[in-house]
Amino acid sequence: MKKFSIVMAIVLVGALFLSACQPETIVETVIVEVEGETITEVVTEEVQVATKTLVFSSRLFSPPAEQLFFINEIIKPFEEEHGVTVNFQIIDDATLLQRAEVQQTTNHVTTDIVVSHNGSMPQWLDAGWVEDLTDVVAGWTDRHFSEAFITDTNRDGKQYFLPVGADVYLLLANNKALPYLPDGVELDSITWEQYAAWAVAVAEGEGEGKVCITGIPSKSWVYMFGGTGLSYGAGFPDANSEGAMAAWKVWETIGKGNGFVPTVLNIDSCVDPMMREEAWLTVFHNARAGQVYASNETEYTLAPAPSGPVGVGSIAGVSGYAVMKGSANYDLAISFLEYLTRPDIQVKLAKGTGGFIPPVEEARDYLGDEAIDEVINKAVLVLNNGVVSGVPGSDYQDWGAVKACYDDVFADTILPGLDVTQERLDEAEACIVGLLN
């Protein structure tokens, strides 16, 4: 019995080893010259070759549905075409950087491709952990990356990151809110004052607030408010300038009118509250807005973010693919990136993941007239015509702490319906400035 167990264990280990190696048939043509006569012989040989595994670590596509789409619809065709395995991992930006540091300092690089947010790109470039892809990109004549994010993806004229999944902020309304829309207001050109009046009217009519923002600290409120600020000529981040004060006054109006959903402090994403119809109005990330809109386009209305005196303000972000320096699978990584950045694949990816903006100029040729195409079109409109700003995360000790400066103003002043005072905003600005590097 003992011998049998040992034999079975050996067989199991052997089977596992063999299953890790896929047989590959190598066909070789051998030309042999025998006494002046040339003989051509075709030799067919089956050898065991381990399947190559490409390690792809991404901060993007973290929602389970997006992961599923990325794995099944994007990765699988590539794996089948190239006979390789792509090991797709979701890892946040901070952890990605920590892992890269360990891999680079120990000279044991196990990650091939990383997907970083543009807020973290300066850290990657400062550390020199990603490959220069300028020459590679120059050979891809069928695509031109959007210039909007060149300051993040490129440095000193060299391209290190290939942009993917750009985002801006869009207005999403449940159609039940439309009867409360002030007279004469067009959603595509709604201003922030009109949005605030609309939110208050909904609250008065329904007996409870219906505006969703992410009230859980360190989520997206900083970006939601940031867009309002940019619409009024404020910078980003900027809590106490004249423009910022005007922006805070918009939110003050909503707070005083009890316009926020009662559970706003427990919301970390507006997707669920909007889908459950707990919230009716929000201005949020285009991919998440797209996710809700595409779930039932007859129930929701989508529009560009509201505008202010300066225009439609929005925080814009993008992620970027890069090849880790020292990658053992450099050529395969380049092949995968060539595939991922093809205009048709970028559009397929954008549509399958809620409506991110594909940052390749040729991608627009592949847009159609489905609900998700409308999301992308509206987002492109904001990106091209709006007052957009990136996230200067690397200028600060910790961007999460900057978010907290804004979160606190919301929790202690806006939500309780208090007056926004210059003194409180100066305090918030001091909080932000105190975090500068």
Partner 1 sequence: MTAAASTKRFRDFKSKAVPYLLIAPVVIYYIFFWIRPVLITVYESFQSAAGTFTFQNYVLVFTDPNFMPALRNTAIIVVFSVTLEFLGALFLALLINRKFAGSTLFLFVAMVPMALPAVAVAAMWLTGFTAHGWINSLLYYLGILTEGAKIYWLAGSEWKLLALVILIDAWQVIPSMMIILLAGLQNIPEEAIEAGYVFGGNFITVLRKITMPLLGPTIQTAIILRLISAIQIWLIIVLLVGFSRMPVLVERIVYYYKEVPNLDISLQMASGYAIIVSFIVSMAALLYLRVSGAFGAKKEAAQ
Q: Does 63 bind partner 1 (CB under 8 A)?
A: no
Residue 1 tokens, joined: 């019995």
Residue span binding partner 1 (CB under 8 A) among the ranges 28-36, 257-265, 283-291, 363-371: 257-265
In the complex, the smallest distance separating the C-beta of residue 333 from partner 1, rounded to whole angstroms, is: 29
Query: Could you say whether residue 417 binds partner 1 (CB under 8 A)?
Result: no
400 binds partner 1 (CB under 8 A): yes
Least Å from the CB of residue 48 to partner 1: 41
* 91 is a contact residue toward partner 1 (CB under 8 A): no
- Look at residues 146, 212, 175 and name the one whose alpha carbon lies nearest to residue 303: 175
DSSP state at residue 177: G
Q: Which is nearer to partner 1, 52 or 219 (CB)?
A: 219
Rounded-to-integer distance, Cα 143 and Cα 147, Å: 12
CA 69 to chain centre: 15
225, 411 Cβ separation under 8 angstroms:
no
CB 399 within 8 A of CB 317: no
Strands (E) across 184-269 are located at 211-212
Q: How far is the CB of 264 from partner 1 (least distance, A)?
A: 8
Q: Which is nearer to partner 1, 23 or 207 (CB)?
A: 207
> Rounded to an integer, what distance in angstroms lies between the CA atom of residue 267 and that of residue 17?
48
By the rule CB under 8 A, 397 interacts with partner 1: yes
Per-residue tokens: 6: 């040992």
Q: What are the Cα distances from residue 37, in Å, to 30, 32, 34, 40, 429?
A: 14, 8, 5, 10, 87
The residue range among 49-57, 79-87, 210-218, 287-295 that interacts with partner 1, by the rule CB under 8 A, is: 210-218
Beta bridge partners of residue 307, listed in sequence order: 191, 312
The residue count for binding partner 1 (CB under 8 A) is 21
Q: How far is the CB of 19 from partner 1 (least distance, A)?
A: 33
Instruction: Mark 110-143 as b/e (b = at least 16 C-beta within 10 Å).
Output: bbbbbbbbbbbbbbbbeeebbbbbeebbeebeeb
Q: How far apart are CA 114 and CA 425, in angstroms?
A: 38
Which member of 71, 90, 91, 94 binds partner 1 (CB under 8 A)? 94
Cβ nearer to partner 1, comparing 94 with 433 = 94
Q: Which stretch binds partner 1 (CB under 8 A): 47-55, 77-85, 376-384, 394-402?
A: 394-402
Closer residue to partner 1 in complex, CB, 221/300: 221
Show contacts with partner 1 in window 262-291 (CB under 8 A). 262-266, 268, 276, 278
Whether residue 237 is preceded by a cis peptide bond, meaning omega within 30 degrees of 0, is yes
Window 317 to 336, contacts with partner 1 (CB under 8 A) = none
Question: 65, 275 in Cβ contact below 8 A?
Answer: no
* Position 407 contacts partner 1 (CB under 8 A): yes
Among 398, 412, 419, 426, binds partner 1 (CB under 8 A): 398
Half-sphere exposure of 403 (CA within 13 A, CB side): 16
What is the rounded distance in angstroms from the CA atom of residue 378 to the CA atom of residue 360? 16
Q: Is 299 an interacting residue with respect to partner 1 (CB under 8 A)?
A: no
Tell the smallest beta-carbon distance from residue 302 to partner 1 (Å): 23
Residues 212-231 vs partner 1: string with x where CB under 8 A? ----xxxx------------
Q: Give the containing element (helix H, strand E) for 236.
A: none
Q: Of 333 and 402, which CB lies nearer to partner 1 in the complex structure?
A: 402
Give the type of residue at 393: G
Residues that bind partner 1 (CB under 8 A): 94, 216-219, 262-266, 268, 276, 278, 397-398, 400-401, 404, 407, 411, 435
